[in-house]
Structure 1
């Protein structure tokens, strides 16, 4: 199960060319820091093994001026067919430099007893102009994998899909490395479902931003399976906030309702035009 749903939120860094998948260059980013909380509810079951699910997810983005620090905390409680409850708690912490060169990551999970297990951790680096590079894992220990050319880090990936929405594209399919598996880069297929001009919303902080509806499917590159490993859809605003989440875990589907949103002021100096 891919628990790091929000490995897709964005950075202000200008993107290198995205080959045939489109480019985010020449488009000024409006992305900001954020603190968002979502209430998760069950919307569909595809198995008889469970009878219910609920949860909560909090997501924080901090503008570190030279990079973006993100933290995600998610709790899922699943009711099994025998009436017992299973609890899953995951924490996902990343740092992505605004120059697009470095991405550090750590994904941990806690079992029902509260014992912590580090699933994946390490540092990935873009070492070439075509976004190729290397991943050095500390968990699993002593593991190194190559980043194929064209691989985007999470913030770059989100900026790319927002750029695709602004350009009225119908889809993009960049590779992504977000640090949530030990298998390296994943294939993604992003369908652009619609683009919206700014409009009044429940959240005043979003009223001035355009938004894009997307459906994102994640695939393991080592298999030729047409069934995605994980799938999510949402409305992304140009400042990086997501609403209307749909999280498809395969056996069940959950929706995420934004219940709290804070946009902190930036502490970074504003660059002046020459």
Structure 2
């Protein structure tokens, strides 16, 4: 019998609450990474080419992580015209796992900007349940289901799965990119590697995990992910070898610049 992706999601046991592991994020660091995006696959005749760039920044604010992602995509249409889209994604995630503030805004060819999603999410229960207070695109309140992880927690969960030799995990994720609350994710661990010589010296001392991640809207019973990505994640949170599957086309992301600043935060106290 062939199991569907959603059947596997339902079959897997949920992850334990991250509140039980206060030192889980001990290896994550700040970073400034730049990726060159190139077209690697087309599934439509409406597009003939695509290129782009993504800048990803993480600042260790000692009590939380400040993250910014700036992505530019230029798509060449079959009639020769170009479509440019620019997105900016900004978050603050507290290290105690309680709060995530988020903004996602986009602009089109004309430079007209719109806010797709903005607000604050809070874990209020010991089971990582909680509430999202959206301020855009409309003001509303949405519940966070138990077990929902924020982005840095989600990264730590997949890294922990790689270290533990797991093949699959299926945590819920809320990252602020959707106005409809938490998403289901299905993570396939493709391999785990010990520390080894890497193309970037800042990564030499870190183990890494290869993953494939599918993102699903929880309200739809769809076996096809809304978005899919794969990469090698290092234990400090840096990703290499990005593959971004947008459905109609697939982009590859090559890391072209990386800096990992030393932490300015005091050492964490032992429990």
Same-fold call, TM cutoff 0.5: yes
Is residue 2:20 matched to residue 1:20?
Answer: no
Offset of residue 142 of structure 1? 1.9
Distance 1:182 1:79, change over 3 A: same
Pick closer, same or farther for the CA change 1:168–1:22 going to 2, 3 Å.
Answer: farther
Match of 2:235 in 1: 238
| 2:253 maps to which of 249, 253, 256 | 256
SS of corresponding position for 1:79: strand
Q: Distance in 1 between matches of 2:187 and 2:134?
A: 27
Deviation at 1:166, TM superposition (A): 0.4
Cα distance in 1, alignment partners of residues 112 and 223 from structure 2 = 35
Distance 1:73 1:28 in 2: 24
- 5 Å-filtered alignment, 1:259-270, equals 259-270=256-267
Q: Secondary structure at the match of 2:225?
A: coil
Distance 2:225 2:95 in 1: 29
Cα offset for 1:20? 3.0
| 2:70 counterpart of 1:76 | no
Contact 2:16 2:147 in 1 (8 A): no
TM normalised by structure 1 equals 0.91
Q: Indicate the residue corresponding to 2:4 in structure 1.
A: none
Local SS of the residue matching 1:225: coil
State which of 95, 98, 102 in structure 2 corresponds to 1:101: 98
Q: TM-score of the superposition, structure 2-length normalised?
A: 0.92
Q: Confirm whether residue 49 of structure 1 aligns to residue 46 of structure 2.
A: yes
Shift in CA distance, 157/40, structure 1 to aligned 2, threshold 3 Å? same
The residue aligned with 1:137 is 134
Pairing of 1:140-159 with structure 2 (within 5 A): 140-159=137-156
Structure 1: gaps of 5 or more residues? 1-17
Report how many residues are paired.
257
Q: Aligned equivalents of 1:134 and 1:273: distance in 2?
A: 31
Cα distance in 2 for residues equivalent to 1:117 and 1:90: 10
